[in-house]
Chain A
């Protein structure tokens, strides 16, 4: 199975900051990577697909990049509603596998 390793596991940031979350795949997955945001008690929300493509309705403060084994999610100008847990997912191979999550907390 493809292992997806996110870093950091958690981070503290302030409103207005820019944060970068990294996801590393145990083998190359081309650009078959999505990013999700999840708030407590809620379903995940798709942010990015194809490593860099913004889902409809998602603000441009979210951006993704990478290919192969290294991917990043950048969140610019953090706002209170951005504090959540973020997951990456590879969909190049079965079984689909998620990263362990990155919790973004308010400093």
Chain B
């Protein structure tokens, strides 16, 4: 059974940083594309970033380019999202996803003073 568990969310002030983690099991992580998707309160889904299995290719939505960094540790079956220069409009539940097929339960990030 595929299991994705996000952690690291919380309350942060505008301009602050946060690092999200996603622990994966139940599939061959090192062979899998991984994505982050977010959902602002009461809004729709927004794709944020993804990363190639070997970590050599990363793509981002324009609104987070230069501020967010996706990374992975295949030895630890873990996916990360480093979020810097956070803004109020980054407030959302952040979901980790295995190739947009399997999803974690999400972790809430709130950016507010």
Q: Do A and B come from one complex?
A: yes
Binding site for B on A (CB under 8 A): 1, 34, 36, 38, 42-46, 49, 55, 87, 89, 91, 94-101
Chain B nearest CB, measured from A48 CB (Å): 11
Among all A-B residue pairs, the 10 with the closest Cβ atoms: A96-B47, A43-B103, A95-B61, A98-B45, A101-B44, A94-B59, A46-B101, A100-B44, A87-B45, A43-B105
Contact A96 to B103, CB < 8 A, known contacts A43-B95, A44-B45, A101-B44: no
Q: Which residue of B lies closest to A34 (CB)?
A: B100
Is A96 within 8 A of B60, CB to CB?
no
The answer on a CB contact under 8 Å between B47 and A98 is: yes
Which residue of A38, A46, A95 is within 8 Å of B47 (Cβ)?
A95
A45/B103 contact (C-beta < 8 A), A94-B59, A95-B61, A95-B62 known:
yes
